Structure 1
Amino acid sequence: MSALQRPSTATTASACIPDMARGTHVFTVAGYRLHKGLGIGNFIRSATFAVGGYDWCIRYYPDGFSSETNDYVSVFVELQSKKSTVRALYDLRLTDRATGSSSLVFSRPSSFPAFDSWRIDHLRGASKFMKRDILEASPYLQDDCLLIQCDLTVLLKEIPTVATATKTPEIEVPPSDLLKNLAKLLEGNKGSDVMIIVNGETFHAHKIVLALRSPVLDAELYGPMGDSEKQCMQIEDMQPAVFKALLHFMYTDSLPVMHDLDNHDKKEIIKHLIVAADRYAMERMKLMCESMLCKSLDAKSVGATLALADQHHCSKLREACLEFVEHLVSTSTLVGDAVVDAIGVADDRREELKKETCERGRIACSGRANVSSQSNAAALTKKQAAMLLGLGREVLFMLKMRFGSVILLSVVSDYSSKERMKWLN
């Protein structure tokens, strides 16, 4: 009699897969300092965004959610869909504008309790999102602007599916760290093969990187007339701080963070970087610098910025300067505003001087008085005239188009005939 055989065993598997929807929303808070003082419990709401068939938004409390958190900024996620109960997970992050990378600040590990707009329980978040003084010293606050990112996962109401096969695992691929590695390569001097001396300060770099980033340096190092064996280079007519920023861009494709500089010094560095970018044919860096200067144009600096744009072939910046001047010219208070702002007179004299100067411009334009009286009525002080001349030739041309030649005669009245013709023609 044969031995009893054991029956074969069949193995099966199943998985419970929750039905989820994911979405990301980035909320830009521009004018960070303007929002300070809004008051405890007062908030700014982002635009509405949809995830999983529900409407959501981000609430930002610049002075804290309550009196217990008035040293913090608070950030919450709000369910805006009415009469809804939703289970959801979320991460709240801050994004570094210079690198584009984001850092997790607050995460909700559980979907309970649910967002419930039936019971006015539709708000979840971090009342102590970040201390205000820490935030203001961090790289996340740049150019008075803050980027808050919300990653939201919504568990849908349908019954989770049951399958006989497990879900294919997803492997999360980290973002590229090539630029970070190149920055470390620059900082550590590992494998550097050229020494660069700038106004007595020494920098170490890699010739192949310099050549890849700048056609001018490529020609100098590897061109027909170049010297690929060169181990030391001298850079003339450039500040070490400017060259350091230039080198940082070559390795990281981004401008360095300049938290330690005030707005004036930052603008000066940017102007010098435009000169350096033009010198080494680095068009992307030049356009980035042009964009930054465009955002900070004012009546005092537009003339000098226009001259810089002309000298270094910055066509976009030049157009922006001329559009800015044209906007000023299109207002009736141009002459008064430009002169008073440029001179920087005391507050108690500003309005009086603006009114007086604009009245002179209108008299010059009207043509109702004779030339002699026009010249006297429209005469500007030497200081005012000098400031207007400092705004540049294009500005004066637009003044001439709006107010007539007499206003320019008054501007240049103290100059010789030859010099007058140079400005008026």
Structure 2
Amino acid sequence: MGRHIRSAIFKVGGYDWAIRYYPEGPRLPPQGDVVVALELVNPSSDVPRPDIIANLHKLLGEKEGTDVSFDVQGVTFDAHKIILAMRSPVFKAELYGSMMETRMHLIKVEDMQPEVFQALLHFIYTDSFPSTDGLDSDNKTEMVKHLLVAADRYAMERLKLMCEHILSQKISVENVAAIFQFSDQYNCHKLKNACIEFMVMYAVALSVWKS
């Protein structure tokens, strides 16, 4: 093994790590290449992986300790006020502020489909984008658009940006005008720029083809 400098051991994800710096490469004789490597110090550690996300998802599914319910087009969803408030300033105002919903155990959600609210709760509890398996391409796009509207409604910027990114990959000649209008309506700057870039590139390609 080549000459190296090793950092102090640090812990990430329940494991011990170190960084090795090889000024002349990791092998002998020296290769003349500078190499920086990440070393797992205790590969046989029996420390379990972090499971807080899995536990929160389980908490949502089992409904243990729920203290607020939402009526979405006749479908009831149970949740935990503190988790909703932690993830959304709008939920925080509704559940702990001076708004009327503070005194209600069942909150009626207007203008949202049950499957969209369910997907919103999934993201709130797991910080991961909900699965759209089982939906065809058009329905996936519509679901993402509805979820973006929900994210905008509850001021969840990370989810909104994730939706913008997915929609930017779905832009086509057939839908670019509609997506551009949608992005303008909900102040989706990244998505709007993606639409403009697509239209410019298409116009250039069309001009070249005609010439």
TM-score normalised by the chain length of structure 1: 0.39
Among residues 318, 321, 331, which one is paired with 2:195 in the alignment?
321
Counterparts in 2 of 1:393-408, with a 5 A limit?
none
Counterparts in 2 of 1:16-415, with a 5 A limit?
171-332=45-206
Q: C-alpha root-mean-square deviation of aligned residues, in Å?
A: 2.5
Residue 175 of structure 1, CA deviation? 2.0
Residue 310 of structure 1, CA deviation? 0.6
What one-letter code is carried by the residue in structure 2 that aligns with 1:225? M
Residue 326 of structure 1, CA deviation? 0.7
Residue 333 of structure 1, CA deviation? 5.0
Residue 317 of structure 1, CA deviation? 0.6
Report the 3-state secondary structure (helix = DSSP H, G, I; strand = E; otherwise coil) of the residue aligned with 2:198.
helix
Residue 171 of structure 1, CA deviation? 3.1
Report the 3-state secondary structure (helix = DSSP H, G, I; strand = E; otherwise coil) of the residue aligned with 2:205.
coil
**Mapped partners of 1:244, 1:227: distance in 2:** 19
Deviations 1:20-78 (A, max 9, x none): xxxxxxxxxxxxxxxxxxxxxxxxxxxxxxxx75xxxxxxxxxxxxxxxxxxxxxxxxx
Residue 213 of structure 1, CA deviation? 1.0
Deviations 1:361-404 (A, max 9, x none): x8xxxxxxxxxxxxxxxxxxxxxxxxxxxxxxxxxxxxxxxxxx
What one-letter code is carried by the residue in structure 1 that aligns with 2:123? F
**Mapped partners of 1:333, 1:169: distance in 2:** 58
Query: Would the aligned equivalents of 2:101 and 2:107 in 1 still touch at CA under 8 Å?
Result: no
Give the structure with the larger strand fraction: 1
Q: Residues 320 and 169 of structure 1: is their aligned pair in 2 closer, same or farther, counting only changes over 3 Å?
A: closer
Give the structure with the larger helix fraction: 2
- Point out where structure 2 has 5 or more consecutive residues left out of the alignment: 1-25, 28-39
What one-letter code is carried by the residue in structure 2 that aligns with 1:304? A
Query: Would the aligned equivalents of 1:219 and 1:226 in 2 still touch at CA under 8 Å?
Result: no
**Mapped partners of 2:65, 2:94: distance in 1:** 20
**Mapped partners of 2:138, 2:206: distance in 1:** 29
**Mapped partners of 2:43, 2:206: distance in 1:** 67
Query: Would the aligned equivalents of 1:294 and 1:317 in 2 still touch at CA under 8 Å?
Result: yes
Residue 249 of structure 1, CA deviation? 0.4
Query: Would the aligned equivalents of 1:183 and 1:248 in 2 still touch at CA under 8 Å?
Result: yes
Report the 3-state secondary structure (helix = DSSP H, G, I; strand = E; otherwise coil) of the residue aligned with 2:135.
coil
**Mapped partners of 1:226, 1:282: distance in 2:** 21
Q: Residues 197 and 246 of structure 1: is their aligned pair in 2 closer, same or farther, counting only changes over 3 Å?
A: same
Report the 3-state secondary structure (helix = DSSP H, G, I; strand = E; otherwise coil) of the residue aligned with 2:174.
coil
* Count of residue correspondences: 175
Report the 3-state secondary structure (helix = DSSP H, G, I; strand = E; otherwise coil) of the residue aligned with 1:228.
helix
- Point out where structure 1 has 5 or more consecutive residues left out of the alignment: 1-51, 54-152, 154-167, 335-354, 363-425
Q: Residues 220 and 169 of structure 1: is their aligned pair in 2 closer, same or farther, counting only changes over 3 Å?
A: closer
**Mapped partners of 1:247, 1:276: distance in 2:** 11
Counterpart of 1:399 in structure 2 is none
Query: Would the aligned equivalents of 1:219 and 1:225 in 2 still touch at CA under 8 Å?
Result: yes
TM-score normalised by the chain length of structure 2: 0.76
